[in-house]
């Protein structure tokens, strides 16, 4: 049997330099081509999980493992993880005044190319960029703006998806990309994600969200609920409906497994 | 550099004076220049050597500077007959297809090439080596050369620059003539251990409009060379002068640049310094707002690495009312490089309704890099708007992680952040070709192009 696309095994992590423990044993497996949704109350650790997967230096892994295509990524730098196919669409993307989106994207794409391949040809880049801007129905002038500088909440989210579309990851983690998008933008972004998955049927997505609206567009294979740093419950798409109706109170944290 | 042979010692001075005279003879130069040279030499002997006890020199120790440790660069080279005679790096800059209204090339002390758009020459634009101007337009030199109000702290080196003058140009643009393209001067030094003292005298008569570039280049030199550089800009009423100094010498050079820009009534001035090269680069940049209603913008970027020392001192000298000046200096420092920014806004008693702003920002890319920022105000008028501010900061880890999460290695991400940091200044350069030239030089220095 082929490897899992993403496997998270009993992952434990805390804030770096001996800070508080946030992830307390997360288990999650995503197979090629699957889309999983991750829900859970504020502060339960969803974004922390996303950032730990991406290699954020602000967190320290104290146990467990994260494997991409069967290989642990924990020893890889964030850029190496990205070049291995991981992508994180941030809940709160950083603002980088002075660096245009186009320049940033060109540098990112070139960083993936080998010495022999050399830099991407300007025209090839422009064409790729125009295609993706079209896919997400974004004005071409958008790419000339500084990365997230002065962007509205929705524009930042679109920029994340534009980057994802350009970099074509094999495994994308989307952290609350739907929050802040208006109704049309949500549809456009969802269609964009579907198109990307259509182009690469092995692409996996972990979609962190509070709302089932986006799940209506994207139809996850599984829905997980995180409570207090663990996956407390998993189910099919119907779980999202239940959560919308009943909230999280009826769920309980899993008992710690007996040691030994 | 060897220890001080105290040149103020009587015996040494006489010797040096003797060799100065011999040097003047050998250059067979017009009396106008020779007398300025002698005056400069007398001032050099009379002025005290700056020490670190002087506020302006607290962070840069030049007490051991001994001009006799360098040999004056050769001035007797032949003019280049064709492009192939020019040094490779100079050819490279010329080969870029940017449009220029005039070009000046100096190789060590020799002016190898000057070309002015013939249409402009016909309209009275003069662009020629200083020596030549002394013969053809002495009145220009009489009126403007070494006429700037040089601060006490600068006089010692200004005097040495005057005495040792080796090359440089005069750009004179008559009334209401607008140059369609930049005037580009390239100075290339490859004589190790040499002393080059080059001057740029830029005059824009009323209503004239110019963009003027001084570019300084050299390979890495294995014996220390001294580059003394004076710039004087005179913009008459309503003139628009944009000046860029792009210094990307190799290592082994000590560079001192003393720049004085003087604004006439309602004139506009923009002075932009890009400091990338040399072991030690000291830039004293002064804007003298002499005309009411005039406007000055001073910009600078520097990127230091290894053990480079950059020292930028600025003066926004508001002598007239209703004038406006803005300053934005940004530096990034890697390795063990250090930089100093010391800026003064001075508003004279009668300079009411002055608007003056000053900002210096520094980005440190390593624990060993250091930046000192000393903004200052000296205000004698009461109806003014002034502000100043300075910051020293590190690379933002959140931004760095964001870029790295898209596949950029840490050095690549840092370089992109540096360029982003610089963009605020770079985007103020109106001419795209000039902006690109600066960007290229910076990218080369920070190694972005692979
Ligand atoms: N660097 C940090 N320092 C201190 N506490 C942190 C840090 N990062 C996360 N936390 C805490 O860890 C908990 C989990 O945060 P996280 O951002 O992962 O939650 P979340 O599930 O994404 O919440 P939301 O739904 O509101 O986005 C929170 O209580 C948060 O305050
Ligand atoms: Mg979150």
B410-426 and A101-111 helices cross at what angle (nearest 10)?
160
Q: What atom of ligand 1 comes closest to residue A44's alpha carbon?
A: 21
In order of A118, B247, B280, B437, the CA distances from A107 in angstroms are 12, 27, 32, 20
Q: Is A209 in the pocket of ligand 1 (CB under 6 A)?
A: no
Q: Of B361, B395, B401, which to mutate for an interface test with A (greatest number of A Cβ within 10 Å)?
A: B401
> What pLDDT score was predicted for residue B73?
81
Q: A40 CA distance to ligand 2 centroid (A)?
A: 9
Residues B189-198: pLDDT tens digits? 999 999 999 9
Q: Is A48 in the pocket of ligand 1 (CB under 6 A)?
A: yes
Q: Of A91, A107, A149, A160, which to mutate for an interface test with B (greatest number of B Cβ within 10 Å)?
A: A107
* Structural domain boundaries enclosing A42: 6-94+169-246
Q: What atom of ligand 1 comes closest to residue A91's alpha carbon?
A: 27
Q: A4 CA distance to ligand 1 centroid (A)?
A: 27
Give yes or no for B411 touching A (CB within 8 A). Answer: no
Beta bridge partners of B226: B195, B254
CA distance A89 to chain B (A): 10
> What pLDDT score was predicted for residue B450?
42
Question: Which SS3 state, helix, strand or coil, does residue B53 take?
Answer: coil
Closest CA to B287 of B228, B356, B229, B340: B356
Output the six-digit token pair for B134.
């002394």
* Closest ligand relative to A89 C-alpha: 2
Q: What atom of ligand 1 comes closest to residue A50's alpha carbon?
A: 18
CA distance A66 to A11: 7
B305 touches B334 (CB < 8 A): yes
Question: Domain for residue A182, yes or no?
Answer: yes
Contacts of B450 in chain A (CB under 8 A): 119
CA distance A242 to chain B (A): 34
> What pLDDT score was predicted for residue B235?
98
> What pLDDT score was predicted for residue A249?
84
Q: Of B403, B421, B439, which to mutate for an interface test with A (greatest number of A Cβ within 10 Å)?
A: B403
Contacts of A79 in chain B (CB under 8 A): 404-410, 412-413
Percent of chain A having pLDDT more than 70? 96
> What pLDDT score was predicted for residue A257?
60
> What pLDDT score was predicted for residue A255?
62
Q: Closest chain B residue to A82 measured between Cα atoms? A: B407
The pLDDT-based confidence of B50 (bands split at 50, 70, 90) is very high
CB contact under 8 A, A96 and B405: no
**pLDDT beyond 90 at A151:** yes
Residues A116-140: pLDDT tens digits? 999 999 999 999 999 999 999 999 9
> What pLDDT score was predicted for residue B266?
98
Compute the radius of gyration of chain A from its Cα atoms: 18
**pLDDT beyond 90 at A244:** no
Q: What atom of ligand 1 comes closest to residue A229's alpha carbon?
A: 14
Q: Tell me the ipTM for this assembly.
A: 0.95
Question: Which SS3 state, helix, strand or coil, does residue B422 take?
Answer: helix
Q: Closest chain A residue to B427 measured between Cα atoms? A: A98
Beta bridge partners of B71: B194
- CA dihedral defined by B20, B25, B31, B37, rounded to 10 degrees? -20
User: Mean pLDDT over residues A175-181, rounded?
Assistant: 94
The beta-carbon neighbor of A98 closest among B397, B412, B420 is B420
User: Mean pLDDT over residues A144-149, rounded?
Assistant: 97
* Closest ligand relative to A38 C-alpha: 1
A226 touches A45 (CB < 8 A): yes
* Number of domains comprising chain A: 1
Which residue's entry shows tokens 């740093």?
A: A229
Residues B368-389: pLDDT tens digits? 999 999 999 999 999 999 999 9
CB contact under 8 A, B406 and A99: no
Q: B411 CA distance to ligand 1 centroid (A)?
A: 29
Question: Domain for residue A210, yes or no?
Answer: yes
Kind plus residue range of the DSSP H or E element containing B20: helix B10-27
Give yes or no for A145 touching B (CB within 8 A). Answer: no
CB contact under 8 A, B412 and A97: no
Chain centroid, CA B70 distance in Å: 21
CA distance B303 to B308: 9
Which residue's entry shows tokens 């000057």?
A: B114
Q: Is A163 in the pocket of ligand 1 (CB under 6 A)?
A: no
Residues B395-413: pLDDT tens digits? 999 999 999 999 999 999 9
CA distance B312 to B299: 11
Give yes or no for A163 touching B (CB within 8 A). Answer: yes
**pLDDT beyond 70 at A260:** no
Indicate the pTM of the whole model.
0.92
Question: Domain for residue A102, yes or no?
Answer: no
Q: Whose CA is nearest to atom 30 of ligand 1?
A: A43
Inter-chain CB pairs, A–B, below 8 Å: 81
Q: Whose CA is nearest to atom 24 of ligand 1?
A: A42
CA distance A56 to B401: 7
Question: Domain for residue A149, yes or no?
Answer: no
Phi-psi region at A214: left, alpha or beta (left = phi > 0; alpha = psi -120 to 50): alpha
Beta bridge partners of B225: B253
> What pLDDT score was predicted for residue A250?
83
* Contacts for A28-32: CB closer than 8 Å, 24+ residues apart: A28/A206, A28/A224, A28/A231, A29/A4, A30/A4, A30/A5, A30/A6, A30/A171, A30/A204, A30/A206, A31/A4, A31/A5, A31/A204, A32/A2, A32/A5, A32/A201, A32/A202, A32/A203, A32/A204
> What pLDDT score was predicted for residue B449?
46
CB within 8 Å of chain B, chain A residues 4-63? 54-58
* Closest ligand relative to A174 C-alpha: 2
B56: Cα within 13 Å, side-chain hemisphere:
17
Mean residue pLDDT of chain B comes to 91
Q: Which 8-state DSSP code applies to residue A142?
A: G
Give yes or no for A112 touching B (CB within 8 A). Answer: yes
Q: Is A43 in the pocket of ligand 1 (CB under 6 A)?
A: yes
Residues B202-236: pLDDT tens digits? 999 999 999 999 999 999 999 999 999 999 999 99
User: Mean pLDDT over residues B252-271, rounded?
Assistant: 98
Residues A15-40: pLDDT tens digits? 999 899 999 999 999 999 999 999 99
> What pLDDT score was predicted for residue B16?
61
Question: Domain for residue A143, yes or no?
Answer: no
> What pLDDT score was predicted for residue B9?
38
Picking from A175-179, B60-64, B287-291, B318-322, which range would have the lowest pLDDT averaged per residue?
B60-64
Q: Whose CA is nearest to atom 19 of ligand 1?
A: A43
Q: A201 CA distance to ligand 2 centroid (A)?
A: 27
Q: Whose CA is nearest to atom 26 of ligand 1?
A: A42
CA distance B223 to chain A (A): 36
CB contact under 8 A, B419 and A111: no
CB contact under 8 A, B416 and A112: no
CA distance A57 to A47: 14
A111 touches A84 (CB < 8 A): no
Which residue's entry shows tokens 């007959």?
A: B81
Residues B319-328: pLDDT tens digits? 999 999 999 9
**pLDDT beyond 70 at B129:** yes
CA distance B125 to B100: 14
Question: Which SS3 state, helix, strand or coil, does residue A28 take?
Answer: strand
Residues B85-127: pLDDT tens digits? 888 888 888 887 678 999 999 999 899 899 999 999 999 999 9
CA distance B7 to B13: 6
Please tell me which residue, B448 or A136, carries the higher pLDDT value: A136
> The domain spanning residue A218 has which CATH number?
3.40.50.300
Q: Is A21 in the pocket of ligand 1 (CB under 6 A)?
A: no
CA distance A254 to chain B (A): 32
């Amino acid at each position: 049997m082929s490897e899992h696309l993403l496997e998270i095994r009993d992952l434990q992590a805390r804030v770096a330099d001996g800070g508080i423990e946030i992830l307390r044993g997360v288990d999650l497996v995503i197979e090629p081509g699957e889309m999983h949704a991750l829900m859970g109350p504020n502060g339960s650790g969803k974004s922390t999980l996303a950032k730990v997967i991406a290699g954020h230096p602000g967190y320290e892994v104290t146990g467990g493992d994260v494997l991409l295509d069967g290989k642990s990524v924990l020893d890889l730098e964030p850029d190496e993880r990205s070049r291995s196919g991981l992508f994180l669409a941030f809940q709160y993307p950083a603002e980088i005044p002075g660096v245009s989106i186009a320049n940033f994207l060109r540098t990112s794409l070139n960083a993936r190319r080998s010495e022999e391949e050399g830099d991407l040809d300007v025209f090839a880049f422009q064409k790729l960029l125009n295609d993706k801007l079209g896919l997400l129905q974004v004005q071409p002038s958008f790419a000339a703006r500084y990365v997230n500088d002065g962007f509205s909440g929705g524009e930042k989210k679109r920029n994340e998806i534009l980057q994802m579309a350009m970099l074509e990851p094999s495994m994308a983690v989307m952290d609350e990309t739907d929050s802040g998008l208006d109704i049309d933008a949500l549809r456009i972004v969802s269609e964009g994600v579907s198109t990307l998955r259509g182009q690469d049927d092995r692409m996996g997505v972990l979609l962190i969200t509070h709302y089932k609206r986006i799940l209506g567009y994207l139809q996850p294979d599984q829905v997980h609920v995180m409570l207090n740093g663990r996956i407390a419950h998993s189910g099919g798409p119907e779980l999202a409906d239940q959560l919308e109706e009943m909230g999280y109170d009826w769920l309980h944290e899993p008992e710690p497994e007996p040691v030994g | 550099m060897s220890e001080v042979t105290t040149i103020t010692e009587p015996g040494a001075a006489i010797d040096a004076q003797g060799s100065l005279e011999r040097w003047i003879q050998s250059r067979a130069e017009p009396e106008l220049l020779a007398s300025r040279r002698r005056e400069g030499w007398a001032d050099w002997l009379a002025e005290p050597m700056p020490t670190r006890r002087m506020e302006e020199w607290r962070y840069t120790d030049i007490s051991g500077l001994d001009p006799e440790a360098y040999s004056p660069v050769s001035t007797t080279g032949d003019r280049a007959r064709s492009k192939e005679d020019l040094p490779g790096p100079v050819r490279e800059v010329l080969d870029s297809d940017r449009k220029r209204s005039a070009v000046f090339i100096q190789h060590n002390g020799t002016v190898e090439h000057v070309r002015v758009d013939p249409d402009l020459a016909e309209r009275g634009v003069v662009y020629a080596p200083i020596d030549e101007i002394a013969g053809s337009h002495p009145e220009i030199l009489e009126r403007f050369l070494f006429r700037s109000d040089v601060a006490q702290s600068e006089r010692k080196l200004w005097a040495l620059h005057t005495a040792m003058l080796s090359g440089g140009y005069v750009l004179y643009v008559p009334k209401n003539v607008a140059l369609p393209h930049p005037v580009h001067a390239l100075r290339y030094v490859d004589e190790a251990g040499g002393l080059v003292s080059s001057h740029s005298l830029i005059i824009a008569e009323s209503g004239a409009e110019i963009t003027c570039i001084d570019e300084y280049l050299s390979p890495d030199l294995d014996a220390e060379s001294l580059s003394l550089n004076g710039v004087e800009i005179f913009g008459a009423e309503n003139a628009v002068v944009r000046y860029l100094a792009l210094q990307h010498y190799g290592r082994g050079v000590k560079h001192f640049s003393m720049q004085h820009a003087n604004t006439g009534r309602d004139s506009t001035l923009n002075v932009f310094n890009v400091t990338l090269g040399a072991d030690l680069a000291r830039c004293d940049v002064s804007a003298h707002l002499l005309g009411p209603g005039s406007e000055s913008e001073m910009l600078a970027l520097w990127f230091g690495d290894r053990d480079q020392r950059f020292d930028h001192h600025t003066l926004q000298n508001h002598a007239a009312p209703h004038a406006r000046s803005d300053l934005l200096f940004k530096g990034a420092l890697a390795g063990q490089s250090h930089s100093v920014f010391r800026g003064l806004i001075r508003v004279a008693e009668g300079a009411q309704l002055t608007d003056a702003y000053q900002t210096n920002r520094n980005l440190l890319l390593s624990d060993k890099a250091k930046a000192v920022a000393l903004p200052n105000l000296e205000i004698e008028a009461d109806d003014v708007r002034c502000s100043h501010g300075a910051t020293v900061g590190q690379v933002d880890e959140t931004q760095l992680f964001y870029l790295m999460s898209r596949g950029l290695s840490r050095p690549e991400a840092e370089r992109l952040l540096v360029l982003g940091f610089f963009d605020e200044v770079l985007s103020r350069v109106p001419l795209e070709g000039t902006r690109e030239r600066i960007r290229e030089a910076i990218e080369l220095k920070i190694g972005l192009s692979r």
